[in-house]
Amino acid sequence: MVKCDYCGKEVSLPFTCPLCGRKFCVDHHLPENHNCPRIDEAKPPYVKTTTSDTSSMSEETEWTPLFPLRERPTSRIRRGFNFSRKEVLHLTIAAILTALIALSFQPELAISLRGVFLAVVMPISFLLHEIAHKFTAQRFGIWAEFRLMLFGVLLTLFSLVSPFKILAPGAVMIASPTNMEEEGKISVAGPLVNLFLGIFFWGLYYLYTQFQTVLCIGIFLNGFIALFNLFPVGILDGEKVLHWNKVIWGATFMLALFLTIFGGWVCL
């Protein structure tokens, strides 16, 4: 077994980078995925094309890319927090979809205090989660913007009439090489915002007892969003956080679990 030089995972068949010569797992074998110091030397594959000029009976040889390189930022950008107009539009649509999902849970309560509170808090909790990812990435000088995903939007729209609710209209896209620590910090930023909001509503729950039946929704909702995203599987935040720092992952996961259980229990 050989350890990946980037994440430390043990693999039986490691990949050797042709540029830096180090060994990596399947997730980090590409130069852009392990922050290869010689990534600038990477070249796309080329194909030789030949054209003949019959009038002059001369042959001209031209080299053109076989696979055009996708245009995206490959280097760090100037640090700062900003939104593009396209991103603002995507965030607005995502907020509307999230509010509609919130109202679809119990349509008969849409005009009640609980319904209005859920329709306001749910989009805020979702958007702040995504914006936390974005701002943390930008803090490292990494290009990051929220984008709607067609399949996710269709799935969310289907949830409006389905008893099973799925909220996945989009996510923050990152287009620069990152190391394991940066990935971990970017990933944990979203759940941390939800944990902060959950604790905030928990405090209000005891300060304003007359609104406990409403405030418990904020506790449960943010606890659940954090808990779901911290599961260390697939593309969820938890996988990157766990690989980066097991202590931080364990602490945030347990706090999210507590807020979810407490919020669900007091809301019953």
Catalytic pick among 41, 60, 87, 130: 130
Give catalytic status of residue 130 as yes or no: yes
Give me the helices (H) in 140-235, please. 150-159, 180-207, 212-229
How many Cβ atoms are within 10 Å of 152's Cβ, its own excluded?
18
End-to-end CA, the chain? 50
| Strand partners of residue 62 | 49
List own/partner pairs for 158-161 with CB under 8 A and 24 or more apart.
159/101, 159/104, 160/100, 160/101, 160/104, 161/104
- Burial of residue 235 (CB within 10 Å: 0-12, 13-18, 19+) is exposed
How many Å apart are CA 188 and CA 193, to the nearest integer? 9
How many Å apart are CA 6 and CA 36, to the nearest integer? 10
User: Quick check: helix, strand or coil at residue 103?
Assistant: helix
Q: Which residues are catalytic, by number?
A: 130
